[in-house]
Every structure is written in C-alpha cells, then in structure tokens.
C-alpha cells in the first residue's frame, strides 16, 4: 500500500507500507502495517492533495472524490400477497444516496424513488405468499456535521471525503442485466465466495404482456425486476406488478446493472 501526501508545492512524499500479517519476526504486533520506506520527489502535475493507493494501483482514498460510507441501516416488512403486488416505503435524508437491500426469502423490486430536496422516498414491491422482513443499507458521503474521526480527508471545499469512523462501501461485484426480456432470463451477480451481501439494482427491467381473449378484450400483466440475495451473490426475477385489460405490450431491457455489496459486520 502507498500513501501520497503533497505538503509543499512541487514536493511529493510517498510512504510505502507492508503488512506483518502476524509474523513472529521483528517484534511487531500481528496485522499491523509498517512503513518500509519514504520517497521524496519533485512533481509538477500534482496539486496539493492526499491519496491512498492499494497494492493493485487503485486509488482507494483521496481528497477529490468522496467515499460512500454506511450512513444508516434498518429493516422493512413486506406483507404476504397473493392477489397483487404489496408495497412498502422508506424515507431517508441523504445527499448522494446508494440504497442496497438484502431480501433472502422472496424477490423484492424497487418500484420508484421520489426526491424532495435532501429527502428520498423509496417504494418497494413484492408479490409472494410468504412475508419477509429484509435489511436495507444506506450509503452516502460522509456527513459534514461529523467533523472528526481517527483518519479523515477533505476536499478543497472543506467537505470530508473520507472518515474512518464510518464503514465504507465494499463492492464485491457488478454485473450487467441481460438484454433478454425480463420474463425470459434472470440476471445474476456472483461474488465467488460465500458471505453476507446486499444488492443494488440500477435501471431494472420492466415488461408488459397482453393477449386478446375476445373481440376488443385483452388480458395483460406488468412485471418489474425483483432481486433476492443468496449466500454467494444475488439473482433477479420478474415480480408481478399488476394485471390489467390494456391492449398494449412493451418491454424495457438493457443498460441496467446489479451491484453486490459486502455488508458483513455492518
């Protein structure tokens, strides 16, 4: 791991860390990172700033982009339903929210999101004879009112971009939704290893199917993308939104994604 800090114009200090990993040599504490070396160099293309770069060269923390951190979590009860979709709502205050859910028994769909200033109202839907209480996790940028933490970074506007007192979002996988119709192919994202996960759907698919049952009469059904979490990832499936008599048919597919987030210990 590397930490880069520019404290003087044109002077960059890089600290290189290595983990002891519980080794017996050197008398260091198990699992503590130690500084291997410091490097000083003159640079002309880096403004004042702060960066932490992982072993694979990926910037993990800096002063330009904020980390999404766990701001709030809770549970939602979805009642059983056998006639039509059941709904449940959640209202939160946030700046740049990403909401992940963890239904493990039934498929839950995000029907809509309504915004009024910093207030967001999420409407979820389910259609299953079995009720379920599922967890939700709200990730957002670090609250400005929380000014101090064990380790922090700020941007040029004085807004915190990282606070070690808030657990950061740990993305374990991202997968595109299939281009096929919702009722033809499920979507899935797999972490490859068992764990405790939540999932976020961006731009889920919808599908309306109708058929003529008599002269001038149609029977239709609307489906929306629902999601259920497994021990290694998440799968999506169609959830019945409503039955109607409209003589139309349309589908929305492609462009959406499933994002898998590790919520163990949160």
Query: Which 3 state secondary structure label does DSSP give 201?
Result: strand
Contacts of 127 (CB under 8 A, 6+ apart): 81, 84, 85, 86, 239, 240, 241
- The proportion of the chain whose per-residue pLDDT surpasses 90, expressed as a percent, equals 34
Query: Which 3 state secondary structure label does DSSP give 85?
Result: coil
Looking only at Cα atoms, what is the longest distance across the chain?
86
Q: What is the pLDDT of residue 77?
A: 95
Place of tokens 């599908």: 207
The dihedral formed by the CA atoms of 251, 186, 188 and 94, expressed in degrees to the nearest 10: 40
The dihedral formed by the CA atoms of 185, 191, 194 and 196, expressed in degrees to the nearest 10: -90
Where is average pLDDT lowest: 6-15, 44-53, 73-82, 166-175? 6-15
- Residue 26 is given by DSSP the state G
Is the pLDDT assigned to residue 170 strictly greater than 80?
yes
CA 196 – CA 102 distance, rounded (Å): 9
- The tally of CA atoms less than 13 A away on the side-chain side of residue 88 is 19
CA 225 – CA 182 distance, rounded (Å): 7
- CA 202, distance to chain mean position in Å, is 9
CA 119 – CA 172 distance, rounded (Å): 28
Q: Which residue has the higher pLDDT, 198 or 31?
A: 198
Is the pLDDT assigned to residue 16 strictly greater than 60?
no
| pTM of the entire predicted model | 0.72
* All structural domains of the chain with their residue ranges: 2-62, 69-140, 171-262
Contacts of 145 (CB under 8 A, 6+ apart): none
Place of tokens 């990403």: 98
Sort residue 82 into left (φ over 0), alpha (ψ -120 to 50) or beta: alpha
Mean pLDDT of the chain: 75
Write out the two tokens for 145: 């009112």
- CA 88, distance to chain mean position in Å, is 20
Q: What is the CA radius of gyration of the chain?
A: 24
What's the rounded mean pLDDT across residues 49-56?
A: 61
pLDDT confidence bin for 105, thresholds 50/70/90: very high
Query: Which 3 state secondary structure label does DSSP give 25?
Result: helix
């Amino acid at each position: 791991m590397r930490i880069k800090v520019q404290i003087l114009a044109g002077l960059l200090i890089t600290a290189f860390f290595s983990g002891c990993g519980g080794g017996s040599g050197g008398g260091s504490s198990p699992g503590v990172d130690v500084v291997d070396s410091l490097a000083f160099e003159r640079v002309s293309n880096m403004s004042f700033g702060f960066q932490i770069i992982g072993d694979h060269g990926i910037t993990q923390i800096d002063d330009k982009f904020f980390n999404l951190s766990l701001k709030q979590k809770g549970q939602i009860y979805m009642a059983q339903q056998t006639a039509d979709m059941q709904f449940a709502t959640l209202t939160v205050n946030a700046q740049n929210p990403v909401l992940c859910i963890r239904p493990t028994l039934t498929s839950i769909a995000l029907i809509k999101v309504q915004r009024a200033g910093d207030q967001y109202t999420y409407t979820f839907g389910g259609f299953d004879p079995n009720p379920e209480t599922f967890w939700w996790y709200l990730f957002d940028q670090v609250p400005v009112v929380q000014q101090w933490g064990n380790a922090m970074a700020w941007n040029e506007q004085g807004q915190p971009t990282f606070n070690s007192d808030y657990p950061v979002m740990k993305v374990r996988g991202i997968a595109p939704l299939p281009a096929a119709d919702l009722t033809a192919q499920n979507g899935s994202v797999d972490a490859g290893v068992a764990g405790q996960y939540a999932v976020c759907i961006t731009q889920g698919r919808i599908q309306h199917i109708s058929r003529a049952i008599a002269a001038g009469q149609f029977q239709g059904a609307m489906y929306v993308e629902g999601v259920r979490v497994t021990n290694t990832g998440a799968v999506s499936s169609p959830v019945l939104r409503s039955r109607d008599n409209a003589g139309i048919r349309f589908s929305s597919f492609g462009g959406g994604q499933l994002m898998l987030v590790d919520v163990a210990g949160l």
